[in-house]
Structure 1
Amino acid sequence: MATYQELTDPDDPRLADYVSLRDTQLRKSVEAANGFYIAEGHKIIRRAIESGHHPRSVVLAPRWIEGLRDVLDPIDVPVHVVTEALAEQVTGFHVHRGALAAIERPTGHDDLAALLHQVQWGAGPRSRIAVLEDLVDHSNVGAAFRSAVALGVDALVVTPRCADPWYRRSIKVSMGAVFQVPWVRADPWPSGITQLKEAGYFVAGMSLGEGSISLDELVAQDHSRLVMIFGNEGHGLTPATDALIDARVTIPMMGGIDSLNVAASSAVAFYATR
């Protein structure tokens, strides 16, 4: 059963997981070393728990207690009840949703072969996988996950240098989509492309490079197993990846615009190939 405790001291060691949430570098090291991630907002906390993730603690403003009792009460977790002013003092920003949770990081997000087996068993003869290569912006990662779930992509792969899907900002922007779709971090990369090809996937890289086909042409080819790779926000696909893909694909545009933000381009590609 959950235990509810009112805390009033910002230096209380029970709040240590929530200190300085806006310090990205600090949070990366603290959360990775201690095996947890931060979920922000009552909806995200609910989705995480309903997905089978276990919180090690929860911080709530009083107004959110009743709305989360049904998912918190059945599990063994300390719930720290604090004022919103105290939450802001601890975290370093205004927690306007009044709810945070430190949740144990799930394991098993490092096996590309297992992911492919899961997708091919669950999706049948047709499937789509998206690869996020070296994206550095957590918001872009979260947005891509949200679009992938909304538009029926079967799985995602992130590369070793890609921003962390379990980072608070990624989870928040994804609206919990990171809990809903299978994904792995493929390391080493880009050798994972060979695994994808051997599993029968046509590998398309979203690119403005020479010899690109249009997204419309890719759709017309009607590949039953399709991988779409989206490159870094500033540099696009790495040369090593570009050398291994089956086709470069570009989104036809007008008005003198030659590219879209990666979050927007992934949504367009997911919709076009659905």
Structure 2
Amino acid sequence: MAQVIEVNDPADPRLDDFRDLSTADRRPDRPGGRGLVIAEGVVVVRRLLASAYPVRALLGVRRRVEELQGELAGRDVPAYVASAEVMAEAVGFHLNRGILATADRAPAPSPEHLAENARTLAVLEGVGDHENLGALFRNAAALGVDGVLLAPGCSDPLYRRSVRVSMGHVLSVPFAEVEPWPDGLKWLRDSGFRVLALTPAAGAVPLSEAVRADERVAVLLGSEGPGLTEEAIAAADAAVRIPMSREVDSLNVATAAAVAFYALAERGTGGTARQG
């Protein structure tokens, strides 16, 4: 198993990857930080260990570290064991899940490489809420979406909260940035994708009527408040909507994405491209 190292001093410099995670301007996963990926809890850490992201270190109470003994076997990764009190002082808050891990980022694929063997893609415009982004990636993993393209204005999927809410699935669904925007959608269409813009607009076609069998589809989803821009909708092949009742005009973006992903999965067997 990985080298298990007892740590009793919260100021130990070996814990610097995990320090002050409640202080936004010091966090290593935020802009200006070191670009680290931070996983919380046994389930998410286990998915990090199985991913393509190079793991740097673990920090946890002994019981949680021992739960990962199988995954850590043969790994050259330090596993720092500390009391809950030492962890809380180093991290900046009490961690109910009992374990953290950090990793360096893996090289991101190009949009072209991501789309090459994909059948279903999600394209996000202005999705800035970390929890919605994490939930959306979890839905994508569950419902056969092959990858996610991020337009300008989206949050970083590898922020700590997004990784946690996704239950670590953001580490297995490949993603890439697409620019310029929305002109960058043209190459998707040229590559054989039908781009469907999801909008609550009354003039949009019901999603069930727009989905066709045996076609490559990119579903376009907008920000939590204003939704997709008019420019993005105009660059799509069709505007589609989820029919609703009781005067509800829209859904949370992660919920809407799940409905759309399920409808696309129902058109046939999808989900070919996965990363780590």
State the SS of the aligned residue for 2:251: coil
Aligned residue number for residue 251 of structure 2:
260
Q: Distance in 2 between matches of 1:205 and 1:83?
A: 50
Correspondent of 1:269 among 260, 271, 276? 260
State the SS of the aligned residue for 2:49: helix
Q: Is contact 1:31-1:37 (8 Å) kept?
A: no
1:166 aligns with 2:158: yes
Q: Distance in 1 between matches of 2:241 and 2:62?
A: 50
- CA deviation profile, 1:194-237 (whole Å, cap 9, x unmatched): 11101011111111235311112112x44611110110111111
Correspondent of 2:204 among 212, 215, 222? 212
What is the alpha-carbon root mean square deviation over aligned residues?
Answer: 1.9
- CA deviation profile, 1:53-95 (whole Å, cap 9, x unmatched): 3211110111112211222231111111111122222222221
Question: Which aligned pairs between 1:133-172 and structure 2 lie closer than 5 A?
Answer: 133-172=125-164
Aligned residue number for residue 77 of structure 2:
77
1:232 aligns with 2:231: no
Name the aligned partner's letter for residue 220 of structure 2: I
Aligned residue number for residue 98 of structure 1:
98
TM-score by length of 2: 0.89
- CA deviation profile, 1:148-170 (whole Å, cap 9, x unmatched): 11111122112232111111111
State the SS of the aligned residue for 2:197: strand
Aligned residue number for residue 124 of structure 1:
none
The structure richer in helix per residue is 1
Q: Is contact 1:202-1:223 (8 Å) kept?
A: no
Q: Is contact 1:203-1:246 (8 Å) kept?
A: yes
Q: Distance in 2 between matches of 1:16 and 1:52?
A: 23
Deviation of 1:243 after TM superposition, in Å, equals 2.3
Question: Which aligned pairs between 1:28-67 and structure 2 lie closer than 5 A?
Answer: 33-67=33-67
Q: 1:253 to 1:24 in 2, by over 3 A?
A: farther
Name the aligned partner's letter for residue 177 of structure 1: H
Q: Is contact 1:208-1:248 (8 Å) kept?
A: no
Aligned residue number for residue 173 of structure 2:
181
Q: Distance in 1 between matches of 2:39 and 2:32?
A: 14
Q: Is contact 2:47-2:171 (8 Å) kept?
A: yes
Q: Distance in 2 between matches of 1:213 and 1:79?
A: 53
Question: Which aligned pairs between 1:105-116 and structure 2 lie closer than 5 A?
Answer: 105-109=105-109, 111-116=110-115
Residue correspondences, number: 265
5+ residue gaps, structure 1, are 120-126
Identity %: 40
Name the aligned partner's letter for residue 263 of structure 1: A
Q: Distance in 2 between matches of 1:237 and 1:26?
A: 33
Q: Is contact 1:58-1:100 (8 Å) kept?
A: yes
State the SS of the aligned residue for 1:129: strand
Runs of 4+ in structure 1 off by over 4 angstroms are 28-33
Aligned residue number for residue 268 of structure 2:
none
5+ residue gaps, structure 2, are 266-276
